[in-house]
Every structure is written in structure tokens, then in C-alpha cells.
Structure 1
């Protein structure tokens, strides 16, 4: 039984110590309740305001950049550069061929005249040679010309 008395005595001492601790906690709790606690958020507010201003500036810059990009896209041509170069090359080629064709057509009458003269001279030379080799044909031809001239 002595042991039980010892254990009971220890338990009562522990309970008394526990009650004292609870009393102290209640007192501290009351002190905290009565103590006015006001957090200082002025630095946090300043940081948030600065961050908000920076965000607004960034948004405005992005909007200006987007407007410039959209303006350039609206003005841009939807053709690739190689297609434009090819078109210009074909246009120059067509103009050169057309100019050369017009030049050749304008020279056609001169070429025809030169070919006629060359053909006439060649025929006259051929007939001249023929008449030199056969004088009888020459006399018959001259008679024919005289008879034709009289009609």
C-alpha cells in the first residue's frame, strides 16, 4: 500500500503542477486578448502598388507592340518574296520578247524587198546565162516581147 500512497502523492503533485500551468496559460491568454495587435502592412501595400504599376506599364507596352505588329501584318503582302521575284522576271522576259517581235515585224517589209531584189537578180542572172548559151531562145523571147508590147 505504501506504493499506492506514493503513486497517489506523485499524481496529486503532478495535477497541482498541471493546474498551475493552466493558470499561467490562462493569464497569458488574457494578456494577449487585452493586448492590441495591429499588423503593419504599409510596406506590403507599397510593394503591391509598385508591382501593379509595373504590370500596367508592361501591359501598355505589350498593347503598343501588338498594335504595331497588327499594323504591319495588315499592310503586308501575302505573297512570298520568291513569287514576286519570279513575276518580275517573267514580266521583263515578256517585255523583251514583245519588243524584239515588234522590231522584227517592223523590219519585215525591208526583208521582203531585199529578198525580192535578190530573187529578181538571181532570176535575171539565170535567164541571162540561159540566153547567152542559147541565142535562138533569146531571139524568140524578144519577138514575144515585141508582140506583147503591140497588144
Structure 2
């Protein structure tokens, strides 16, 4: 019986410990039932709004930079400005020099023709004066030209 009494005591102690644990669990469970968790997303919303503002700024900067690059590409040239200017100056100098030489060539032809005509007139005048001063030679010259014309007519 002694053993039974000991076992009974042990069971009683265990039941008391178990009931204390249950009471403790019930009180804790009441605390959790009364506890209401509120979802407050205001701080997250604030951070999200701030992040979106930053993203909008970055996107506008990106768009501005791309439009600047596009404009730069539209205005970009394969050749630099100094090279285009040098080319225009060179072409202008060549056109002017060709025009000058063409003008000079045309007028030199005219001068040569005028000089030839002037020389012809001078030689004719000189021959006429010579023949006037020497009529005998003039008569011989006439005979010689007639002979020459006769020979040419026979051919």
C-alpha cells in the first residue's frame, strides 16, 4: 500500500503541475485573443513613394540625356568644320586660278592675232616703201611673181 500511496502522491503532484500549466496556457491564450495586430503600412508606403520619386527623376534624366545624344548625332558630321572650310577655300582658289588662266589664254590668242596682223601691215608697208624707193627692183619682183604664178598654174 505504501507504494500505492506514493504513486497517488506522485499522480497528485503531476496533476497539480499539469493544471498549473493549463491555467498558465489559458491566461496566455486570453492575452493572444485580446491582442489585435494592426497592419500599419504607412512607413512602407512613404518609402515606396520616395523610391518612386527617385525613379522618376532618374528616368527624366535618362530621357534628357538620350535626347541630347540624339540631337548630337543628328548634328554630327563625318568631316570636321575646319576640313570643310579648307576644302571650300581650295576649290575657290582652283576655280579662280583656272578662270584667270583661261582668260589669259584667250587674250593671249587675241594678242597674237593682233600682233600677226600688225606685223603683216608693217611688212607690207615696209615692202611698199622699199619698192617705191627702188622701182627697178619692183619691176623684177613683178616678173618673178608672174613666173611663179605660171609655174603654179601648170601644176
TM-score range, shorter chain: 0.5 to 0.7
Query: Post-superposition shift, 1:59?
Result: 1.9
Distance 1:137 1:119 in 2: 23
Question: TM-score when scaled to structure 1?
Answer: 0.55
Query: Post-superposition shift, 1:104?
Result: 4.9
Shift of the 58–145 alpha-carbon distance from structure 1 to 2, 3 Å rule, reads: same
Question: TM-score when scaled to structure 2?
Answer: 0.54
Report the counterpart of residue 129 of structure 1 in structure 2.
129
When the two chains are superposed, the root-mean-square deviation of aligned CA atoms in Å is 3.5
Report the counterpart of residue 55 of structure 1 in structure 2.
54
Shift of the 106–45 alpha-carbon distance from structure 1 to 2, 3 Å rule, reads: same
Report the counterpart of residue 17 of structure 2 in structure 1.
none
Aligned counterparts, 1:1-151, within 5 A: 42-43=42-43, 45-46=45-46, 48-75=47-74, 76-105=76-105, 110-151=110-151
Distance 1:137 1:111 in 2: 34
Q: Deviations over 1:87-115 (max 9, x none)?
A: 11222222233344445555666444333
Q: Secondary structure at the match of 1:77?
A: coil
Q: Number of paired residues?
A: 117
Distance 2:93 2:65 in 1: 41
Segments of structure 1 that go 5 or more residues without pairing to the other structure are 1-37
Larger radius of gyration: 2
Segments of structure 2 that go 5 or more residues without pairing to the other structure are 1-37
Distance 1:51 1:127 in 2: 114
